Amino acid sequence: MFTLPGLGYDFNALEPYIDGRTMEIHHGKHHAAYVTNLNAALDAAGGAGADKGLDHLLANLDAVPEAQRTAVRNNGGGHWNHSLFWNLMTAGGNDAVSPELAAALEKELGGLDAFRDAFAKAATTRFGSGWAWLVVKDGALKVLSTPNQDNPLMDAGGTPILALDVWEHAYYLKYQNRRPEYIENWWKVVDWSAVSRLYQADRG
């Protein structure tokens, strides 16, 4: 059985960029529902190999019985994506990009500013609901986006080290239809030390 992880900070810790009411609903209602629904689907599927962990489950959705596969994809993805997302933000944010990640961003994506533009474009142009990602794929950084609660684990697209939720539930109370403004402000709460740790972990 999967459980809802704690946030690690108060609901209002990311204000004024992400409001406390949004965080409370997003974590306590949306993410909680993904966990509940994932557990129900796995229960109905007789476990479906969930004992091997969520990463393994999402990378091997074909092994899930067809009757539960969509529910596991949507809710398992939702649980995985949000569990990462919360850990990539911190009160006030920080710019602690590791020298190794800074060098890779420079060499592979044209530097931090060019990366941010590419990431914001991926997040802005994702039609409807989905996520923007910075992943490490075969040792190289890549920017991409996915629809719904899909993530790069599902199609071997790489290991995510940064993620942004662009579902309306992530920003609508404060920003309504202004997704670009939400994205611009979100950079101010990004925990680059956490992103750098994930990059180092993938590099071994």
Name the residues that contact Mn ion, by CB under 5 A: 165, 167, 170
CB nearer Mn ion, residue 62 or residue 127 = 127
Report, in Å, the least distance between residue 66 CB and Mn ion.
26
CB nearer Mn ion, residue 31 or residue 191 = 31
CB nearer Mn ion, residue 19 or residue 202 = 19
Report, in Å, the least distance between residue 166 CB and Mn ion.
9
Report, in Å, the least distance between residue 41 CB and Mn ion.
18
CB nearer Mn ion, residue 101 or residue 166 = 166
Provide the β-strand partners of residue 11: none
Report, in Å, the least distance between residue 46 CB and Mn ion.
28
CB 111 within 8 A of CB 33: no
CB 190 within 8 A of CB 18: no
Q: Rounded to an integer, what distance in angstroms lies between the CA atom of residue 180 and that of residue 48?
A: 39
Q: Rounded to an integer, what distance in angstroms lies between the CA atom of residue 54 and that of residue 47?
A: 12
Phi, psi of 41 (to 5 degrees): -65, -40
Report, in Å, the least distance between residue 82 CB and Mn ion.
6
Phi, psi of 162 (to 5 degrees): -145, 140
CB nearer Mn ion, residue 50 or residue 170 = 170
Q: CA separation (Å) from 176 to 18, 22, 125, 166, 167? A: 12, 12, 16, 12, 11
Query: Shortest Cβ contact with Mn ion: which residue?
Result: 165
